[in-house]
Amino acid sequence: MAFLVQGRGKSEFGNVPTYGYVQEVFGKVSALSGIKSYSIVLSAHSGGGSTKLAPKVGAGEAQPADAATLKKDPARAASKGAAALAVLFDAEGIEDTMDWATKQIAALGKALTADPKNAKAILAASPKFRGYFAKDGAYATRYTTQAKVLKAALVKLPSQWRDLTSSDGVVLDLFRIIEVDRSGVSHEPSSVTPPTSKSAHWLMP
């Protein structure tokens, strides 16, 4: 089930509280009234990145909810965990969002070093990020620059949390910037076919 808040004009969205919005939809659709828990995917394209997604992750909406968070935003009670994913599609706000992502990576490094036996649980509880951009598009330089920022944050981790052959999961799986190299893909195409593995390239740290 997905709920999409669509902006208009110059990235105009209004004040849309993430969890309160979902709760309102559940309250108006009887078929959904029985849902007691859910996960959130925060996504943005173009100006929605800087006007909505970056401020939301910066404000903690992609973080697991603690007691203080729940007191401030009771609607989060049905989704206490971290956002399942935060995604930018050829969007503004990559710099601020990457600042948030690198802080998550640093926190993961500390948590994993302090408690390696609980690595799977720590990784599972973490927020996750994907940044997609069109090759040679208007956002390409900004995203490739931030891919270097991401790489610099990831290489600070102990090697075991960067080993892609590990069966325990690694931090590299959680935060990625991906170049989409496909004919016809532009900033605002009339139609988009999901990229295949041959047309989407993870900028490997």
- Average pLDDT, whole number, for the chain? 84
| Torsion from C-alpha of 44, 47, 48, 49, nearest 10 degrees | 60
Token pair recorded at residue 73: 């935003």
The tens digit of pLDDT for each residue in 67-119 reads: 999 999 999 999 999 989 999 999 999 999 999 999 999 999 999 999 989 98
pLDDT at 203 over 80: no
Give the 3-state secondary structure of residue 178: strand
Question: What is the DSSP secondary-structure string of 98-129?
Answer: HHHHHHHHHHHHHHHHH-GGGHHHHHHTS--E
By the 8 A CB rule, do 129 and 89 touch?
no
- 199 pLDDT more than 50: no
Mean pLDDT along residues 143-169: 86
Helical (H) or strand (E) element with 57: helix 54-58
